[in-house]
Amino acid sequence: MARPIRVEFEGAVYHITARGNERRRIFCSDEDRSLFLETLRQMTERFGVVLHAYCLMLNHYHLVVEMPRGNLTQAMGWFQTTYTIRYNYRHKRSGHLFQGRFKAHLVEADVYAQQLVRYVHLNPVRPRDKSKLIPHEREKELEEYPWSSHRDYSGTRSKPGWLNLDWLSYWGSGRIEARRKYRLEMKNLFGGKMDSPWSNLRGGLVLGGEALWKRAKEVVQGKKGQEEIRWQKNEGNPEMKKRLGKILAKEGDRRIKIWARVELGGQRPVDVGREMGYRDGSGVLQVIKRLGQGQREPHLREKMVLIRNLMSRVES
Residue 277 lies inside a defined structural domain of this protein = yes
Give the number of other Cβ atoms within 10 Å of residue 277's Cβ.
Answer: 8
For position 166, what pLDDT does the model report? 97
**C-beta separation of 7 from 106 below 8 A:** yes
User: How many structural domains comprise the chain?
Assistant: 2
- Helix or strand holding residue 41 (H, E): helix 30-47
Q: Return the beta strands (E) in the chain as ranges.
A: 12-19, 50-56, 60-67, 103-107, 206-207
For position 315, what pLDDT does the model report? 43
CA–CA gap between residue 150 and residue 261 (Å, rounded): 35
CA–CA gap between residue 150 and residue 186 (Å, rounded): 10
pLDDT score of 2 more than 70: no
What's the burial of 137, exposed, middle or buried (CB within 10 Å: 0-12/13-18/19+)? exposed
Residues 185 and 257 in one domain: no
Mean pLDDT of 228-248: 69
Residues 131 and 253 in one domain: no
Of 193 and 110, more confident: 110
pLDDT tens track for 210-237 = 999 999 988 888 776 766 766 666 665 5
Average per-residue pLDDT for the chain? 88
The whole domain housing 292 covers 224-312
Residue 206 lies inside a defined structural domain of this protein = no
Least confident of 20-24, 106-110, 160-164: 20-24
Residue 294 lies inside a defined structural domain of this protein = yes
Residue 145 lies inside a defined structural domain of this protein = yes
For position 232, what pLDDT does the model report? 66
pLDDT tens track for 7-54 = 999 999 999 999 998 889 999 999 999 999 999 999 999 999 999 999
Residues 71 and 124 in one domain: yes
Residue 296 lies inside a defined structural domain of this protein = yes
Residues 172 and 55 in one domain: yes
Q: Give CA separation, 219 vs 106, 124, 209, 213, 267, in Å.
A: 12, 35, 16, 10, 20
For position 316, what pLDDT does the model report? 38
